């Protein structure tokens, strides 16, 4: 999101005030999932990175532990080898991905903020998987445009995870649909936007929530009618829409 | 569930009265997912089967449309070919599976009630996928025991979906863990049991909900510590726990 550091910090704080910790019917149910099935299975490195990130002022941006676990399993299930991630923050989903890929797996990871990535990098290095990561600082669009220019890159990615500026998801989609392989998967994060997709018009929403909500609603409509993909909206984390490229 | 028809019918009715239609924070959010991403993409035969099933008195037992969509995508993602289903009812998840498998795919489907299966079978036949299904009427345990006896069957299934008597899931698990291939997937349905897994001790729960809840809680604890699998509890439908066999 193209905002100043200070603005982002206060946004993160205000977002936290908004009740639900998840999209589920109760915090208790979400906690049950975390304590029964997620935390006991969480790799040590991911736990360390999660705790490190919890101390960071923008920690609302991080991928949740249940989502990390799901991504990790998904990547193993589809035998992913070459992946891309747009939006890294401190690297929790990046680590979940790196742990899932084979030793010669490759992840192209992009974020406008290198500092946050470097906060988590020591943990990723300690986990022995940093060699799989090619990190690029800066906006993703120029990188994507360059990749698309060369036909060699078309259909070269097994999995692409987008967890970044919501007002650009559809623009990313135009490029990613050529870069992901047929049968491959694109995952768009935060597509249920804290449940605000169904908030009544007069609901008190934070400015940034309301602003990006329009883009999220538009994205969801567009993906639903895109004939090049099959979709599935999963209520994991803040909502992930999985898009399987069919042609 | 080993109850007589009348009891089951009234159970289904009473279950429906219990507020939430899903595990999500609001019915509105669940409806949003269904209307934005599920119904517009639902294959015609699945829609027809869903509407047919909605008229049935025990329709609470059916797989929900969002879950059907997820299963269908999952099966394509893992290139499943040989699967098993324990608990069929009118066949919504069975049809979802059959549509996902290749033309020479096979599904061993078991249910104590052939009548309900036959209610949905014409729709499955019309969809051109009934030839993939091997339906066995009766309890699943004897079939599983026979399969396990022959080592040829060990590791022969890509995916196994269990949506049946919750008091037997752990007993099924003892057999299924041998029958699913290493790297393959077992899916246990209803593992969040309408959210009742976190209901306070004095909460007014229907008798059958409370009875089976103990088994669900026990199952969840057991799967979490089973070293032969990696797990992921997804809040889709009534909760599916995906178990990927490691060894």
In a domain, residue A86? The reply is yes
Nearest to A244 among B73, B234, B235 (CB): B73
Instruction: Determine contact, residues B58/B8, Cβ cutoff 8 Å.
Output: yes
In a domain, residue B19? The reply is no
Residue A224: closest C-alpha in chain B:
B37
Q: Which H/E stretch holds residue B218?
A: helix B207-224
In a domain, residue A17? The reply is no
Q: CA A236 to CA A23: how far, in whole Å?
A: 8
Nearest to B92 by CA among B119, B132, B131, B112: B119
Instruction: Determine contact, residues A108/A85, Cβ cutoff 8 Å.
Output: yes
Instruction: Determine contact, residues B162/B94, Cβ cutoff 8 Å.
Output: no
In a domain, residue A95? The reply is yes
Q: Are strands A229-234 and A240-245 parallel, antiparallel or unpaired?
A: antiparallel
- The domain spanning residue A139 has which CATH number? 3.40.50.150
Is the pLDDT confidence value at B8 over 80?
no
Residue corresponding to tokens 């289903």: B85
In a domain, residue B32? The reply is no
Residue A212 C-alpha, separation from nearest chain B C-alpha, in angstroms: 17
Nearest to B220 among A26, A36, A66 (CB): A36
ipTM for the assembly: 0.91
Three-state DSSP class for residue B180? strand
Average pLDDT on A118-127 reads 98
**pLDDT > 70: percent of chain A:** 92
Q: CA B176 to CA A144: how far, in whole Å?
A: 44
Inter-chain touch B233–A77, beta carbons under 8 Å? no
Average pLDDT on B127-137 reads 98
Residue B28: closest C-alpha in chain A:
A198
Three-state DSSP class for residue B194? helix
Inter-chain touch B37–A70, beta carbons under 8 Å? no
Residue B43: closest C-alpha in chain A:
A230
Residues of A with CB under 8 A from a CB of B: 20, 22-26, 28-29, 31-33, 36-38, 40-41, 66, 69-70, 73-74, 76-78, 183, 185, 192, 195, 197-198, 220-221, 223-225, 230-236, 241-242, 244
The pLDDT score that the predictor gives to residue A17 is 40
Is the pLDDT confidence value at A59 over 90?
no
The pLDDT score that the predictor gives to residue A20 is 60
Residue A100: closest C-alpha in chain B:
B230
Q: For residue A60, what pLDDT band results from cuts at 50, 70 and 90?
A: confident
Q: For residue B1, what pLDDT band results from cuts at 50, 70 and 90?
A: very low
Residues linked to residue B187 through DSSP beta bridges, in sequence order: B161, B242
Among A185-189, A202-206, A230-234, name the one with the lowest average pLDDT. Answer: A202-206
Which chain A residues contact residue B244 at CB under 8 A?
A: 73, 76-77
The pLDDT score that the predictor gives to residue A58 is 87
Q: What is the span of the domain harbouring residue B139?
A: 62-245
Residues 6+ apart with CB under 8 A from A179: A84, A144, A147, A148, A153, A154, A155, A156, A157, A160
Which chain B residues contact residue A236 at CB under 8 A?
A: 234-235
Average pLDDT on A156-174 reads 97
Instruction: Determine contact, residues B243/B225, Cβ cutoff 8 Å.
Output: no
Residues linked to residue B157 through DSSP beta bridges, in sequence order: B180
Best residue of B19, B21, B27, B29 to probe chain A, by most A CBs closer than 10 Å: B29
Report H helices in chain A: 5-17, 27-33, 44-54, 65-77, 92-100, 114-126, 140-149, 169-179, 207-224
The pLDDT score that the predictor gives to residue B20 is 60
In a domain, residue A19? The reply is no
User: Residue B80: CA atoms inside 13 Å, Cβ hemisphere, count?
Assistant: 30
Is the pLDDT confidence value at A61 over 90?
no
Residue B185 C-alpha, separation from nearest chain A C-alpha, in angstroms: 9
Nearest to B50 by CA among B34, B33, B64, B61: B64
Best residue of B72, B192, B232, B237 to probe chain A, by most A CBs closer than 10 Å: B232
CA A35 vs. chain centroid, Å, equals 22
Nearest to B246 by CA among A37, A46, A73: A73
* A143-156 tens-digit pLDDT: 999 999 999 999 99
Q: CA B126 to CA B109: how far, in whole Å?
A: 18
Inter-chain touch B24–A28, beta carbons under 8 Å? no
Average pLDDT on B125-152 reads 98
The pLDDT score that the predictor gives to residue B21 is 75
Q: Which residue has the higher pLDDT, B5 or A20?
A: A20
Nearest to A111 by CA among A238, A240, A242, A1: A1
Nearest to B195 among A29, A76, A221 (CB): A29
Q: CA B114 to CA B111: how far, in whole Å?
A: 7
Average pLDDT on B139-165 reads 98
In a domain, residue B20? The reply is no
Inter-chain touch B26–A195, beta carbons under 8 Å? yes
**pLDDT > 90: percent of chain B:** 85
The pLDDT score that the predictor gives to residue B61 is 86
**At residue B188, what are phi and psi to the nearest 5 degrees?**
-105, 125
Residue corresponding to tokens 């007993």: B171
Nearest to A182 by CA among A148, A156, A205, A201: A156
* pTM metric for this prediction: 0.92
Q: Are strands A240-245 and B157-162 parallel, antiparallel or unpaired?
A: unpaired
Looking at chain A, how many residues does it have? 247
Instruction: Determine contact, residues B221/B203, Cβ cutoff 8 Å.
Output: no
Instruction: Determine contact, residues A30/A21, Cβ cutoff 8 Å.
Output: yes
Instruction: Determine contact, residues B121/B149, Cβ cutoff 8 Å.
Output: no
Among A1-15, A79-93, A165-179, name the one with the lowest average pLDDT. Answer: A1-15
Inter-chain touch A69–B224, beta carbons under 8 Å? no
Nearest to A185 among B22, B32, B77 (CB): B77
Q: For residue B109, what pLDDT band results from cuts at 50, 70 and 90?
A: very high
Query: In total, how many domains does chain B have?
Result: 1
Average pLDDT on B174-185 reads 98
Residues 6+ apart with CB under 8 A from A81: A101, A102, A104, A105, A106, A158
Is the pLDDT confidence value at A201 over 70?
yes
The pLDDT score that the predictor gives to residue A213 is 94
Q: For residue A227, what pLDDT band results from cuts at 50, 70 and 90?
A: very high
């Amino acid at each position: 999101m193209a905002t100043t550091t200070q603005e982002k910090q206060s946004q993160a704080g205000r977002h936290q005030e908004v009740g639900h910790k998840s999209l589920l019917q109760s915090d208790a149910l979400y906690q049950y999932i975390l304590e029964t099935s997620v935390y006991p299975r969480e790799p040590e490195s991911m736990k360390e990175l999660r705790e490190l990130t919890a101390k960071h002022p923008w920690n609302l941006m991080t991928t949740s532990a249940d989502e990390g676990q799901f991504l990790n399993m998904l990547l193993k299930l589809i035998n992913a080898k070459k992946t891309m991630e747009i939006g890294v923050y401190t690297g929790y989903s990046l680590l979940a991905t790196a742990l899932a890929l084979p030793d010669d797996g490759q992840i192209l990871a992009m974020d406008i903020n290198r500092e946050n990535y470097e906060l988590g990098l020591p943990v990723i290095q300690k986990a022995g998987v940093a060699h799989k990561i090619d990190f690029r600082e800066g906006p993703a669009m120029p990188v994507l445009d360059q990749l698309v220019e060369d036909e060699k890159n078309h259909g070269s990615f097994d999995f692409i995870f987008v967890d970044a500026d919501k007002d650009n998801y559809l623009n990313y989609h135009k490029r990613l649909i050529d870069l992901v392989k047929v049968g491959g998967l694109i995952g768009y994060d935060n597509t249920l936007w804290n449940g605000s997709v169904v908030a009544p018009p007069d609901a008190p929403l934070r400015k940034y929530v309301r602003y990006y909500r329009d883009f999220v609603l538009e994205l969801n409509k567009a993906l639903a009618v895109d004939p090049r993909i099959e979709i599935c909206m999963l209520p994991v984390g803040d909502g992930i829409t999985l898009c399987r490229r069919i042609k």
